[in-house]
Amino acid sequence: MGIFDAMNTSVSGLSAQSFALQNISGNIANASTVGYKGIGTSFEDLIPNATNPTRQNAGGVTAFAKATITTQGTVSTSSVATNMAINGDGFFNVQKASSVVDNVPVFTGVTNYTRRGDFQLNANGNLINGAGYYLMGVAVDPKTGNATGNVPTVLQFANNFVPAQATTAIQYAANLPTQPKTGASGNAATGTLVAAGGLNSADLSNVPLPVGTNFYADSTVTGGTAVNKNAANITTSTLLSGAAATDSITTNFTAGDTITLTGSAGDVVTFTFVASGASGTQINVGDSVGTLLAKIAAVTGVQPTITAGKITLHSGSGENWSLSSASAGFTALGFTSPVALNRTASAGTGIVIGNDLTNFNNETISGGAVTAYNSAGTPVNVQLRWGKVDSSTLGTGHKDIWNLFYQTNSSATGSTVAWQNVGTNFTFASDGSLTSPTTSSISIPNIVVDGTTLGTVSLNISSGALTQYASTIGSATINNITQNGFAAGQLQSVAVNNSGIVTGTFSNGQTINLAQVTLSHFNGTNYLKALDGGAYEATDQSGQAIIGASGKISGGSLEGSNTDIADEFTKLIVTQQAYSANTKVITTANSMVQDLLNVLR
């Protein structure tokens, strides 16, 4: 190897360092380019062939590009909802339009791949990045969010229109007060259902309970005239036992006598007379008639009355009762054992008519309202009200039972139906938990509101969602009342979430899943061929694209360049020094050649 070979070797060094400088220049120029992947330089020595290792000469050098495609750039947030970045492995599938005909892009069908995620919606509804590449993906089922295919196509969302969806279910959660405060409760007689915040069916011309459910009203039995030992009519002050000529019944109750109340629901209460020290269901023989009647009232729920010496007993509405006693004192009260106290029953109609609106509104509480939609997308205002149709505070045989109503005609008058019972008795335990119904979904058939038909709607109440806890406000606390219907709507905007789902916001307020952005990966990622605009195409060394990647999409974000300016400047200094050193070799070789030529002079 001679002087001229040394010069040629230095020339190869100059060429290699120039190639490195070109790559450094490109990296620095693209330091702010979205998704840019820097290009490094790899040097390879070129060793001339030699027969004797001891005569081996240093060779020249050549330079190759070194891809850094697998090196992640910094991900930062973006204010553009359709921007996205990939965290980890993977590429967006994109295509570039070969031409535009009548404002419609024409594609060649060749798929390229990019990390550049600055996509925005154009006038045709395509998502295009800053380099002009069109995003690809697959459509999704708007209800499940699952992809409907696996072959990516160019996405387009222009003029997307979602048809109306009829309401089929209402999600409901609320707490009903133990003691409702209704318009009528404050002025009602103590111990009545209305005073307990309830709806008394007797106050309405139609029994509003569910069809097939009986409403039981109080009935009375009046005994014969009873007088005391002074030959006067008995009163509540008359004693149950006493000496001659005292204000006591004509025949005394004595210790050991009993009066038994037997209920149709299986309840049995026995009052036992004792000489003194009565407790619980015991009665002192020296107590008054009023004390005995108060004990009976505690069972039936209605206080007996005395008029002109005649005692009137009430059945209450809880259950039928039978009073029996073998005591002569019971006969002295004007009754012959047994006494049947049977409630009166009326069949439920499940409706509230216009004539009953005043009493109905005064004896119920609001259950909230929700806007539902029919199959044509017509909005319907569904008003709800709760009525407590029985209360455990009324005594034995009573439970906390509520009925739910929806308004079917907001302008009802006369005999026109104004409210409809949903047809279910909601029963609560003493701890406020719902005991019936036990199912989480209640079907409300044939809902019609102000002439608009909704059809059958399910009222969905998840476990623990409907309760009856004490509430100082006395009204229902609505925790959730939503429905699944909506009117027709037109696409207003699109966004990409962190699952790579393209969601559309429509004019009807609905946000619906439109498409799934698909990612691809390669076995030989760093052997992809770079194209303009941060895109790549597959090569033999990279292998074909494989649908699916381990990387995750981050919506509203952008991946920046992976170029490190400080690192590039360091490389720039090294490259400059190496280039200068190679020129020194050429200068030295040239001087040696000049010296050789001077030998000939």
Pair 529, 536: CB distance under 8 Å: yes
**Is 474 in the same domain as 357?**
yes
Tell me: do 185 and 285 sit in the same domain: no
Percent of the chain with pLDDT over 90: 71
Per-residue pLDDT tens digits for 374-386: 999 999 999 999 9
Residue 478, phi then psi, degrees to nearest 5: -85, 115
The verdict on 476 and 352 lying in the same domain is yes
Neighbours of 14 (CB within 10 A): 19
Tell how strand 434-436 and strand 535-537 pair up. unpaired
Instruction: Give yes or no: residues 500 and 460 share one domain.
Output: no
Do 315 and 393 belong to one domain? no
Mean pLDDT, range 61-70, rounded to an integer? 87
Q: How many CB atoms lie within 10 A of CB 510?
A: 15
- Angle at CA of residue 588, ends 586 and 590, nearest 5°: 70
Pairing state between β 535-537 and 112-114: antiparallel
Q: Do 149 and 59 share a domain, yes or no?
A: no
pLDDT at 593: 80
**DSSP assigned state of 53:** G
Query: Which of 48-62, 193-207, 477-491 is least confident?
Result: 48-62
Q: How far is CA 337 from the centre of its chain?
A: 61
- Decide which of 522 and 27 is more confident: 522
For tokens 């030699």, name the residue. 50
Which of 342, 374, 405 is a domain's end point? Answer: 342
Nearest of 487, 522, 521, 519 to residue 506 by alpha carbon: 487
pLDDT of 14 strictly over 90: no
Contacts of 292 (CB under 8 A, 6+ apart): 240, 259, 271, 283
Contact 229, 245 (CB under 8 A): yes
User: Mean pLDDT score of the chain, rounded to an integer?
Assistant: 92
Per-residue model confidence (pLDDT) at position 575: 87
Q: What is the pLDDT of residue 194?
A: 96
- Position 318 scores a pLDDT of 83
Contact 316, 301 (CB under 8 A): yes
- Pair 179, 282 in one domain: no
Indicate if the pLDDT at residue 1 is higher than 60. no
Number of residues in the chain: 601
Give the CATH number, domain containing residue 461: 2.60.98.20
Most confident of 34-48, 59-73, 243-257: 243-257
Within this chain, do residues 354 and 470 fall inside the same structural domain, yes or no? yes
- Is 65:40 a contact under the CB 8 Å cutoff? yes
Nearest-angstrom CA–CA distance, 384 and 408: 10
172 within 8 A of 480, measured Cβ to Cβ: yes
Which are the contacts of 523, defined by CB distance < 8 A and separation ≥ 6? Answer: 542, 543, 546
- Is 488 within 8 Å of 195 (Cβ atoms)? no
Give the number of other Cβ atoms within 10 Å of residue 271's Cβ.
21
Paired with 478 in beta bridges are 174
pLDDT band at 476; cut points 50, 70, 90: very high
Residue 600 has pLDDT above 80, yes or no: no
Calpha distance 148→361 (Å, rounded): 51
Are 510 and 467 contained in the same domain? no
Which of the listed residues 342, 375, 406 is the one where a domain comes to its end? Answer: 342
pLDDT at site 190: 86
Q: Where are the strands (E) in 391-416, listed by range?
A: 400-407
Tell me what pLDDT residue 448 has: 96
* Amino acid residing at 421: N
Backbone angles phi, psi at 492, to 5 degrees: -110, -40
pLDDT of residue 591: 83
pLDDT for the residue 64: 87
Residue 49 or 92, more confident:
92
pLDDT confidence of residue 163: 87
Q: Distance between CA 594 and CA 598 in Å, rounded?
A: 6
Residue-wise pLDDT for 412-430, tens only, equals 999 999 999 999 999 999 9
Q: How many CB atoms lie within 10 A of CB 561?
A: 19
Nearest to 491 by CA among 475, 479, 502: 502
The pLDDT of residue 598 is above 90: no
**Predicted pLDDT of residue 51:** 67
Helix (H, G, I), strand (E, B) or coil at 601: coil
Q: Which residues lie closer than 8 Å to 433 by C-beta, 6 or more apart?
A: 464, 467, 468
Return the pLDDT at 304: 96
Distance separating alpha carbons of residues 241 and 275, to the nearest angstrom: 10
Structure token pair of residue 280: 């619980």
Residue type, 346: S
Q: Are residues 299 and 332 in the same domain?
A: yes
Give the residue from 109, 110, 133, 91 showing the smallest Cα distance to 528: 91
- 198 — phi, psi (to 5°)? -100, 175
Q: How confident is the model at residue 343 (pLDDT cuts 50, 70, 90)?
A: very high
Peptide bond into 304 cis (omega under 30): no
Distance, CA of 313 to CA of 304 (rounded, Å): 5
Same domain, 51 and 157: no
- Residue 324: pLDDT band (50, 70, 90) is very high
Name the residue among 416, 432, 428, 443 with its Cα closest to residue 353: 416
Alpha-carbon dihedral sign for residues 558, 564, 569, 572: negative
Question: Looking at the 3D structure of the chain, how many domains does it have?
Answer: 4
CA separation (Å) from 175 to 137, 431, 468, 517?
A: 46, 13, 5, 43
For residue 379, whether the previous peptide bond is cis, meaning omega lies within 30 degrees of 0, is no
Q: Would you give the end-to-end CA distance of the chain in angstroms?
A: 25
**Which pLDDT score is estimated for 16?**
82
The percentage of the chain sitting over the pLDDT mark of 70, rounded to a whole number, equals 98
Taking 60 as the threshold, does the pLDDT of residue 12 lie above it?
A: yes
- Under 8 Å CB-to-CB from 294, ≥6 apart: which residues? 303
Residue 195 has pLDDT above 70, yes or no: yes
Q: Both 466 and 531 in a single domain? A: no
Mean pLDDT of 153-171: 90
Domain boundary among 279, 312, 342: 342
Residue reference for tokens 């206080």:
303
CB count within 10 Å of CB 240 equals 25
36-40, 88-92, 324-328, 534-538: the lowest-pLDDT one: 36-40
Q: Domain residues for 533?
A: 75-163+490-559
Q: How confident is the model at residue 54 (pLDDT cuts 50, 70, 90)?
A: low
Distance CA 296, CA 291 (A): 9
For residue 69 the two structure tokens come to: 């495609």
